[in-house]
Structure 1
Amino acid sequence: MSTWTLLLISSNKSFCDAIKEQLKINNEFNVIDEKNLPSSLDINIDLLILDIDCSDSTNKKDLEEFQKNRFKIPIIILTKKNNNLDKIINDNSTHYYVKKPFRFSILISRIRSQLRQHKKNSLTIGSYIFQPDYKLITNTSGEKIHLTEKEVDIIFCLYNAQQKVISRDTILRKVWGYNAKITTHTLETHIYRLRKKIEHNPANKEIIITENGGYKIIL
């Protein structure tokens, strides 16, 4: 099972610790909290959970700055305010409200739903249209190139980083999970096969670039 990385921002330590413990139970999520935010800037974050009632350091400007620098990811806002659930508060970034108090099962369901939805969207990568849900990437001539599940996960992982370098270890963890039998050679083999499918000239890489101990994708 792939592991999703979530960033949890809350100034309420007991609340934060309780949410973290619950999210870690089935090893589906890797949870980073606010105190680790500086180091998390080099980590591929899949979803932000924002406890907006408690975090006195977080406001709309902070939220916009986070998205500007961190790329577009789904954001779930935990709040006591009378906001409608599933409300989209701006055109380019999707924010979902979960009103407190809530059952933890509701939060888990919302997290999974938003991660799935985020993965379903058609994404533009250079001259290609990438459709993760259909395991397809389409070139400008309309040719559909079929991808394996791991190839989809690799592209999606790199895409979310918005041209930032992702380390091999990070990609291995996110795509294969914590499996000691999987090595960097496995990743390199998948990258090689993926390049043969999508690079115009695999010898002259223009889309998936090797750099500083990892990879990045050119959008």
Structure 2
Amino acid sequence: MEKKHTLLLYEKEIFLNSILQEQFLYTEDYQLFIAQNEKKLLEMINNRLFDFFILNLDIVNNNLATFLKNFTECNKHENIVAYYFENKNYEEYKNYNLSFLKKPFKFNTLLNYLDNMKKTDFSLSNNYLMEHIQFIAIKKIIYNSNNHYQEHLTEKETYLLDYLNKNRNINITKADLLKKIWGVNEDINTHTLETHMYRLRLKLNKIEPNLSFSLLNQNGLYCMKDNV
């Protein structure tokens, strides 16, 4: 059974919260969480990762530009639906990677927004290294959903893990990794790859000591190998 995509809804209106919560209970793909104030919203996004966000722009208490800047910088996430009353104008905020939805809206319209995002972005930004270990390349994060612990990766560590994960159980040469990740030839005298691989191993071990694969370097070959 596939995991449900997690949604975080920022909405103060109890009636609308209850309606959306009930509607999402009948969907197969989504699990809804709710924050009713900005303090709770920030607390929740700092304590766990969410696949999608639904924000009511009309209830933001502080300067909206500051709120959106801080929110998008914190999440580095493009899967955000922002809704508002039709008589409001939010054209100036359309550079914050938001999908705008006018209120009132039909639930199916909201689902269509989410489904379209899922088709274009989710497969690129989310992979499960294990059932409870999520690799989110777009955010440079590996995340343990059991204890909500996460490790941040550097850009090169992200590229390394992504390439190794996409080539599971395949032996890859150092020359190939240097060319694919760094764009350099194998005859360059560098320990860059070994250093990055060592640091990546440490982070993977912190996120889950019993990961179901290991990174091997035998005879100059690297491999993300499943332990079966």
TM-score bracket, normalised by the shorter chain, equals: 0.5 to 0.7
Contact 2:52 2:79 in 1 (8 A): yes
What letter matches 2:136 in structure 1?
L
Higher helix share: 2
Matched ranges for 1:1-219 at <5 A: 1-35=2-36, 36-37=40-41, 38-56=43-61, 59-82=64-87, 89-90=94-95, 93-119=96-122, 132=124, 157-160=135-138, 162-167=139-144, 169=146, 194=168, 200=177, 204-205=197-198, 209-214=203-208
Call closer, same or farther: CA 1:29–1:212 in 2, change over 3 Å.
Answer: same
Which has the greater radius of gyration?
2
What secondary structure sits across from 2:47 in the alignment? Answer: coil
Q: Deviations over 1:153-208 (max 9, x none)?
A: 99984224x2344115389xxxxxxxxxxxxxxxxxx9697485778479935657
- The RMSD of aligned alpha carbons is 4.2
Name the % identity.
Answer: 15
Distance apart, 1:64 and its partner CA: 1.2
Contact 1:7 1:32 in 2 (8 A): yes
Distance apart, 1:84 and its partner CA: 9.0
What letter matches 1:13 in structure 2?
I
Structure 2 runs not aligned, ≥5 long? 149-163, 178-192, 210-228
Structure 1 runs not aligned, ≥5 long? 121-131, 134-148, 172-189
What secondary structure sits across from 1:72 in the alignment? Answer: coil
What letter matches 2:16 in structure 1?
F
Distance 2:93 2:66 in 1: 17
Q: Which runs of 4+ in 1 moved over 4 A?
A: 82-88, 153-156, 190-193, 195-203, 205-208
Q: What is the aligned length?
A: 167
Q: Which has the higher contact order (CA 8 A, sep 6+)?
A: 1
Distance 2:169 2:69 in 1: 34
Call closer, same or farther: CA 1:76–1:86 in 2, change over 3 Å.
Answer: farther
Call closer, same or farther: CA 1:17–1:95 in 2, change over 3 Å.
Answer: same
